[in-house]
Amino acid sequence: MTFEECRDYRDSLVKEAKEVEMSFTSAKQHMKHLKALFAVACDDGHIPADPMVRVKLWFGVTARNRRG
């Protein structure tokens, strides 16, 4: 798993949230759990580096903007 793949996954979550296929809260939870998984895997020596460490989640809109 690379930083680029993690970034692409993040981008797909943002797209789904903006298209109202997934809630913003669900997208945030997906990222939170994936970040935790990679952090533990890195800390325990299962992977050499955490590919999620630089991936940030930003929707670029607020819930008010999304409603119209």
Pick from 53, 58, 67, 48: which is nearest to 27 by CA? 58
Mean pLDDT of 36-65: 85
What is the reported pLDDT for 52?
A: 94
Confidence of residue 64 (pLDDT cuts 50, 70, 90): low
- Average pLDDT score, the chain: 86
Say what angle helices 3-18 and 24-43 make with each other, to 10 degrees: 160
Mean pLDDT of 40-67: 81
pTM of the model: 0.76
Is residue 40 within 8 Å of 33, Cβ to Cβ?
A: no
Mean pLDDT of 3-22: 90
